[in-house]
Structure 1
């Protein structure tokens, strides 16, 4: 079907159709499906319904691109397309041929299952999470893989022996008494990296906010910068922040639209250099992304491929007093609320003996001095109100009780 065609011309109700899930459901959006199937490997991706050979843009050497293209042309199955991944750079024909044969065997398995399968049914599983991560990110730069589970340890060694035998030796089985995440310092890094702010060595920090439509990152210097050459100091902070932003986007797997508010710079050369450095810092990011130049307001727009929800790890709890807003009602407004409720209660219970429970700070305020609020209320209403502190109350929380210690509901 071409772009101007209609889906109902080729697809009817109750037709079976072979699809692949490309994207997990995110928030209110459902999963994304495609009929353009791909079978991924470590170096290559096989495309059964295409005959195009594509080379990763990250392989920049023209001679290497040509070598890989000619090599794949000679070993690919007839009428199959192949996407050559960045990891294939420099690989020998034997490595690539072995992977092509493995992926073609998977496709043959899918076709066999289709003949007897009854929809809906899953025809091919993705690799387990550990193996798929290793397949996608394992490089020669890895020097250690530490595992605390015996079964996973053996599974990883088995998988590595098939895709990268030289790296089997870097797998280690952790048997220490401490939690593996604590022993290797991962817990500390998680707590310092996944909060609302990310601090850098210079004292500058990022504030990272999320909305349904976009993500916003604000760059702050964190201290008073030198006045001798403030423009250069601002530029240095922005450069350091750009590197940390690229790291945070990968670490949290933030996707979609990202707006970065850098500290304002006047020098046009500094602005161009910042964009250039930002692109360099994100060069090794596996997710597809686009970086636009700075706007006249100093804002940089980044779009980054979002295949799954961003990683959110809560390292702090919402304040029970302000509900995370950072603000609470002024104490004078709280007094107004208490007195309004007191008036309402005394309309139906004149001269009643009441108890008011509040946070200790508020109790100290109400009972301070010779003529306390309780005396003031007694003279105004002729009713006695004893004020008591309740340490487990929120700062702005209060409740009235009668002489029998029954709470007076004001709902």
Structure 2
């Protein structure tokens, strides 16, 4: 599989596209005014404790207070008293045992502010590097579940334990996660990462000692460097960046942390914009549409709401060459690939409900479910897929840390109030007629003037002329209609003259 990473940099916006076999699979956007804060560490102060939710709001200097759940507090599951208590086995400690109003503490953002919700934070601080993630609340050494070869898992864990045994003991203890990028790495590379993380942690602790409430004591890397750290692997053919300054920073970063991959980074200086060259801009536009066509003639219909995302599969014009059950099965199989790609591309998270076309054969259902799970394996976000429900629906979850692509680059429609639909001309016409009657009863006037959208005014004067004459007779006054291009289809004013 051919994979490329494209980085488009402008003064106020940076975009990173992951392209596999010529198809856009993932898009990350960072704007100067709305840069994400996931991974940042802040000096916070407890604003308000909510015992009913077992959580607290923490001031970290952002527009909205951050949300801290009891389960995300470092010692939530430990009983510091050493005495018997009334907690059920497996239950976290009470929020009042863990926090107090006005308490200052160090927190890390695990989820960006989304919609009207503030950021979600944890006191379980972790710092990532190229191959490792440093954990501050444990001394465990674990290997990413995505490294599935048992011999490689054992080799990596053994190397880490050996490297740590050669170093002086530290207090408090430090643990490590070996990331997917660590696969195939030798001890020298892991040792460099340990040194880097030690320096980063020392810097965080030093900054925290002098920081005031609301100050950021550690900021994650900029988007281009994060992309290099998290996305560059041996199977990535090249990384193309259209900014000379960003290219030089990437080269410096790669030479320090991933020298074997540094030669994959290229500066793109072509006349044609890099995203146009690869067709990325067109793919972004299509990613905002509800309907996704399938090669077979079927389609996906994707609806994103506040509560969940629903995906409906239709056969469309695909009739197939065999029996109807086989046609349905083939369409559903094709849909699994498209669904996995659309989830990554649109960055859809939370609860996702998939309505596959009904299948009778249990083996077909099992194969479709297995293919969906397989298609999701390349997704960097954690996904969980559940079996078919009695209604034939597949429920799944996908971890969401930032806004979806649609919410990042779109906003609610002023004309329809964010509904995605507008009232018909006939509906608005009858609203206007009712408003005319209402105004006539409340106020004295010789005549009335209605101002509205040209399409609505044309419908009233041409198609509803008889109704207008009857209305004028009913209220005993004349009504004049005036079109104005500044009015949307649902907008109108009734003016008394």
Fold match, TM over 0.5?
yes
Q: Which has the higher contact order (CA 8 A, sep 6+)?
A: 2
CA displacement at 1:70 relative to structure 2:
0.9
Q: How does 1:28-39 map to 2 (within 5 A)?
A: 28-39=116-127
CA displacement at 1:255 relative to structure 2:
1.8
Whether the 8 Å contact between 1:374 and 1:387 is mirrored in structure 2 is no
Q: C-alpha distance in 1, partners of 2:124/2:480?
A: 74
Whether the 8 Å contact between 1:367 and 1:373 is mirrored in structure 2 is no
| Unaligned segments of structure 1, at least 5 residues | 401-406
Whether the 8 Å contact between 1:399 and 1:408 is mirrored in structure 2 is no
Q: 2:163 aligns with which of 75, 78, 81?
A: 75
Count of equivalent residues: 402
Offset from partner CA, 1:196-226 (integer Å, 9 cap, x none): 2322222322222223322211122232534
Q: Does 1:310 align with 2:404?
A: yes
Which is greater in Rg? 1
SS of residue matched to 1:277:
helix
Q: C-alpha distance in 1, partners of 2:94/2:349?
A: 31
Q: 2:181 aligns with which of 75, 81, 87?
A: 87
Offset from partner CA, 1:290-345 (integer Å, 9 cap, x none): 11111122211111222222222557984947964546357377247426615843
Offset from partner CA, 1:212-266 (integer Å, 9 cap, x none): 3222111222325348411111111111111111111112222211111111111
Whether the 8 Å contact between 2:440 and 2:475 is mirrored in structure 1 is no
The residue number in structure 1 matching 2:357 is 263
Q: C-alpha distance in 1, partners of 2:412/2:118?
A: 29
Q: 1:185 aligns with which of 265, 269, 279?
A: 279
TM-score, scaled to structure 1: 0.84
Q: How does 1:185-264 map to 2 (within 5 A)?
A: 185-223=279-317, 225-226=319-320, 228-264=322-358
SS of residue matched to 1:17:
strand
The residue number in structure 1 matching 2:5 is none
Q: Does 1:136 align with 2:233?
A: no
The residue number in structure 1 matching 2:154 is 66
The residue number in structure 1 matching 2:366 is 272
| Unaligned segments of structure 2, at least 5 residues | 1-74, 80-86, 88-92
Q: C-alpha distance in 2, partners of 1:218/1:46?
A: 41
More strand as a share of residues: 2
The residue number in structure 2 matching 1:403 is none
Moved more, 339-348 or 157-166: 339-348
The residue number in structure 1 matching 2:108 is 20
